């Protein structure tokens, strides 16, 4: 049993450079607090905690828009609904974070299902416009009923998740890794456990063909929205408890676009893409705080350059450099191998002399 696991580990993780890098990254994440001590360390840990939450958020967008092709331009809706639900439950009913965060995520699921109703009939730019509208409508309501929602100031004074920043960090890392792994498995097209991955791909590529093949696409679209809403909700609720405030900035257009930019920067339709995107862009934005006047300008410039010159995303670009798919058995190989590790097929066509 243990030996088989070890063998699987060797074949499925160590032999594929992308997964090896992911493993190294996860291991490094566990040791980060050792190097970040004192008050400045606490500040850097805070950045990492934010990054972990935004990773969950961005990956959930990728699952919905990248994999299933339901272009969502208002992903902040799920984040904001969960944040406000959590805040109201925590303040008025005095429930603890371990209870309010899952309930916030459930609110995200409900928001996802509500948004899904128009999504069943629309696609492409039309869907983008409708999804864009939902968080803005809610934002208008938040500003109009200030005594319930706190208006501009939001709802503050929530309970902390834990008493120390390091504990917060480890909780956020654990939640992040588990969520990303679940979503990775759900979108894995070659998985033998769940068939959602291949169905999501089919819906994106050609929904009518998927339906003609006997797939109940409506059920799977509902599922995609619910799952995306759930994980975006976890991120939003965690964010609210960590910041101890739920405010209108959790619903704003900026957040909806941030998540798209992170994902497209890292590589859309790849779970590791948004992870890489958030872990590069979010700390970069924090570093750029030393030049506040041109911070947003640099950010926008990076985005434009990225879209023009590396539209597949940075993670995918790197992966294509270090991995090579076997042309016969579709197994990933290290790029420096000449023949496939399983079936010995030459990976590169021989140059004609």
Partner 1 sequence: MVEGIIIQGLIKGGTYALLAVGFSLIFGVARMINLSHTCFYMLAAYGIYAFAKMLGMPLIAAAVLSLLATTIIGILTYRLFIDRVREHHVTVMLITLALAMVFQEWMIISFTSEPLGAPSFISGYWEIIGVKVSYQHLLTFGVALAVLICVWALLSKTRLGVAIRATAQDSEIANLMGINVRRILLVTMGMAAVLAAVAGIVVAPTLTLEPRMWTSPLVMIMAIVVLGGLGSVKGSFIGAFIIGFVEVLVVFLMPGGAFLKGAFALLVMVIILLVRPEGLFGIAFEEERL
State how far the alpha carbon of 203 is from the alpha carbons of 70, 180, 182, 193, 274, in Å.
9, 21, 20, 19, 21
Question: Is there binding between residue 292 and partner 1 (CB under 8 A)?
Answer: no
Closest CB to partner 1 among 30 and 317? 317
141 belongs to the binding site for partner 1 (CB under 8 A): yes
- Residue 76 makes contact with partner 1 by CB under 8 A: no
CB-wise, 99 or 218, nearer to partner 1? 218
Query: What are phi and psi for residue 41, nearest 5 degrees?
Result: -60, -40
Burial class (CB in 10 A: 0-12, 13-18, 19+), 101: buried
What are the CA-CA distances from residue 135 to residues 101, 235, 308 (Å)?
20, 16, 29
Query: 224 or 264, CB closer to partner 1?
Result: 264
Query: Binding to partner 1 by residue 129, rule CB under 8 A?
Result: yes
Residues 6+ apart with CB under 8 A from 154: 87, 245, 246, 247, 248, 249, 250
Residues from 10 through 69 that contact partner 1 (CB under 8 A): none
CA distance 209 to 203: 8
Which x/- pattern over 146-185 shows residues binding partner 1 (rule: CB under 8 A)?
----------------------------------------
Q: Tell me if 104 sits within 8 A of 233, measured CB to CB.
A: yes
Exactly one of 296, 310, 327, 339 binds partner 1 (CB under 8 A); that residue is 296
Question: Is 271 a residue that touches partner 1 (CB under 8 A)?
Answer: no
Separation of alpha carbons 33 and 251, rounded Å: 31
Q: C-beta of 322: minimal distance to partner 1 in Å?
A: 25
Task: For residues 251 and 74, give the distance between their C-alpha atoms in angstroms, rounded to a whole number.
Answer: 9
In the list 120, 182, 215, 318, the residue contacting partner 1 (rule: CB under 8 A) is: 120
Query: Which lies closer to partner 1 via its Cβ, residue 28 or residue 287?
Result: 287
Contact between 299 and partner 1 (CB under 8 A)? yes
Distance, CA of 296 to CA of 172 (rounded, Å): 27
Could you list the residues that contact partner 1 (CB under 8 A)? 71, 73, 117-118, 120-126, 128-130, 132-134, 136-141, 143-145, 207-208, 253, 257, 260-261, 264, 293-294, 296-297, 299-301, 303-304, 307-308, 311
């Amino acid at each position: 049993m243990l030996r088989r696991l070890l063998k699987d580990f060797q074949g499925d993780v160590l032999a594929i450079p992308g997964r090896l890098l992911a493993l190294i990254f996860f291991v490094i994440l566990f040791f980060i607090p050792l190097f970040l001590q004192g008050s400045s360390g606490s500040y850097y840990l805070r950045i990492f905690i934010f990054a972990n939450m935004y990773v969950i958020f961005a990956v959930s967008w990728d699952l919905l828009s990248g994999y299933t092709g339901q272009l969502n331009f208002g992903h902040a809706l799920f984040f904001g609904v969960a944040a406000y639900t959590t805040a109201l439950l925590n303040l008025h009913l005095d429930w603890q974070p371990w209870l309010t965060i899952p309930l916030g995520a459930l609110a995200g699921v409900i928001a996802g299902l509500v948004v899904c109703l128009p999504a069943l009939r629309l696609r492409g730019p039309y869907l983008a416009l409708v999804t864009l509208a939902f968080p803005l409508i809610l934002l208008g309501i938040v500003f109009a009923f200030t005594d319930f929602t706190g208006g501009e100031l939001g709802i503050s004074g929530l309970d902390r998740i834990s008493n120390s920043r390091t504990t917060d960090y480890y909780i956020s890392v654990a939640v992040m890794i588990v969520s990303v792994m679940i979503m990775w498995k759900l979108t894995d097209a070659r998985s033998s456990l769940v068939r959602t991955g291949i169905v999501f791909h089919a819906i994106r590529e050609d929904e009518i063909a998927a339906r003609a093949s006997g797939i109940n696409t409506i059920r799977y679209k509902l599922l995609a929205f619910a799952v995306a809403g759930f994980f975006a909700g976890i991120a939003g609720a965690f964010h609210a408890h960590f910041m101890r405030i739920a405010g209108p900035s959790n619903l704003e257009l900026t957040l909806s676009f941030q998540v798209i930019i992170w994902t497209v920067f890292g590589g859309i339709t790849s779970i590791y893409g948004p992870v890489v995107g958030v872990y590069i862009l979010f700390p970069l934005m924090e570093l750029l705080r030393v030049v506040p006047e041109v911070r947003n300008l640099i950010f926008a410039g990076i985005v434009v350059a990225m879209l023009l010159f590396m539209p597949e995303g940075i993670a995918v670009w790197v992966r294509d450099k270090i991995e090579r798919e076997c042309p016969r058995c579709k197994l990933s190989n290290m790029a420096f191998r000449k023949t496939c590790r399983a079936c010995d097929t030459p990976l590169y066509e021989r140059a004609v002399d």
